[in-house]
């Protein structure tokens, strides 16, 4: 056991010295933020179209983020041309946000020592990966972080007791083991998709497990802050919460890049032992 722990930290040390660890996490975090904001706005707009109570949505956004952010998101759907404006904003933001996934692809190619593929194929793959990233982040925001607040708000609007019970059971089911499996599965898909060469699925398990555990720890810390420490009524409360949200995004991106590099590090060490390669990069 001690030997395995020692090897693990040796791999971490090698990964942290890589030059891509300086630039890629911050770049990826920026584009993740760019993707998550229009996604939340789109969800809000869809809820308004479906005649879901805007007071309920406003209360959730206010408790989850701040009054200013709640007003900003709800104002997106205002006006007669909201549908057209929203479509333009969503398309542009998602296209720009795919640059983060494109950077992951290029970096993974550099890590694995392969040439970049066709630009159109890479861009299409980047868009697909961006959608997966967004699903991951929305899932983390809705279930482990704001799940209790959503349940509280649903109970406070006096829905049918049977419906409320079903929603509570779904949230409880999605927590813990199911959440871990879901995170691991989607993170592994991204790791397998990223390089422009075939990656054996089980070779991505090592980094995916590391990233899943790291994401769960960071999400629990962020959830604790949101539910116990955040004070949106204070003068700087909203600004502090936005800063903490940005830090959470950055650490998610940072650990994601570490996990991607760990996959290559472990694979190259195993290939070196078998004589398939002579030197580890």
Residue pair 207/260 in contact by the 8 Å Cβ criterion: yes
Residue 125 pLDDT exceeds 50: yes
pLDDT tens track for 79-115: 444 567 767 777 887 888 888 889 899 888 888 888 8
- C-alpha distances (whole Å) from 244 to each of 88, 122, 218 are 29, 32, 11
**How many CB atoms are located within 10 Å of the residue 269 CB?**
15
Q: How far is the C-alpha of 2 from the C-alpha of 7, rounded, in Å? A: 9
Domain ranges, ordered by start, for the chain? 19-267
Q: Radius of gyration (Cα) for the chain, nearest Å? A: 21
Give the model's pLDDT for residue 140: 84
Distances (CA, A) of 21 to 194, 218, 262: 16, 18, 12
Task: Give me the pLDDT at residue 212, please.
Answer: 94
**Any alpha helices (H) in the chain, and if so which ranges?**
2-16, 20-49, 54-64, 67-75, 82-112, 119-140, 147-156, 161-174, 177-193, 205-224, 237-274
Q: Average pLDDT of 131-140?
A: 85
CB 174 within 8 A of CB 146: no
pLDDT in tens, 206-240: 999 999 999 999 988 888 887 777 665 554 556 67
Residue 56 pLDDT > 80, yes or no? no
- Rounded Cα distance, 59 and 55, in Å: 6
pLDDT tens digits along 22-38: 878 888 888 887 877 77
Residues 6 or more apart whose Cβ sits within 8 Å of residue 188? 201, 204, 205, 208
């Amino acid at each position: 056991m001690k030997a395995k722990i020692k090897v693990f930290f040796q791999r971490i040390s090698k990964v942290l010295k890589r030059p891509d660890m300086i630039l890629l996490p911050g770049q990826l975090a920026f584009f993740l933020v760019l993707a998550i904001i229009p996604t939340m706005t789109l969800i809000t707009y869809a809820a308004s179209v479906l005649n879901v109570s805007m007071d309920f949505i406003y209360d959730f956004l206010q408790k989850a983020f701040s009054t200013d952010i709640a007003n900003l998101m709800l104002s997106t759907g205002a006006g007669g041309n909201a549908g057209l404006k929203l479509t333009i904003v969503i398309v542009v933001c998602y296209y720009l946000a795919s640059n983060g996934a494109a950077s992951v692809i290029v970096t993974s190619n550099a890590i694995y020592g392969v040439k970049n593929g066709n630009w159109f194929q890479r861009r299409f793959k980047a868009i697909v990966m961006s959608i997966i990233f967004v699903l991951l982040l929305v899932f983390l925001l809705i279930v482990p972080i704001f799940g209790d607040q959503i349940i509280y708000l649903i109970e406070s609007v006096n829905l049918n007791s049977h419906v409320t019970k079903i929603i509570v059971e779904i949230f409880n089911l999605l927590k813990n083991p199911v959440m871990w499996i879901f995170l691991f599965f989607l993170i592994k898909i991204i790791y397998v998709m990223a390089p422009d060469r075939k990656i054996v699925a089980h070779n991505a398990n090592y980094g995916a497990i590391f990233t899943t555990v790291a994401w769960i720890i960071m999400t629990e810390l962020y959830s604790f802050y949101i539910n116990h420490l955040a004070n949106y009524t204070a003068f700087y409360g909203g600004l502090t919460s936005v800063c903490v949200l940005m830090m959470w995004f950055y650490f998610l991106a940072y650990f994601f890049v570490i996990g991607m590099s760990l996959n290559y590090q472990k694979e190259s060490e195993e290939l070196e032992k078998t004589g398939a390669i002579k030197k580890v990069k």
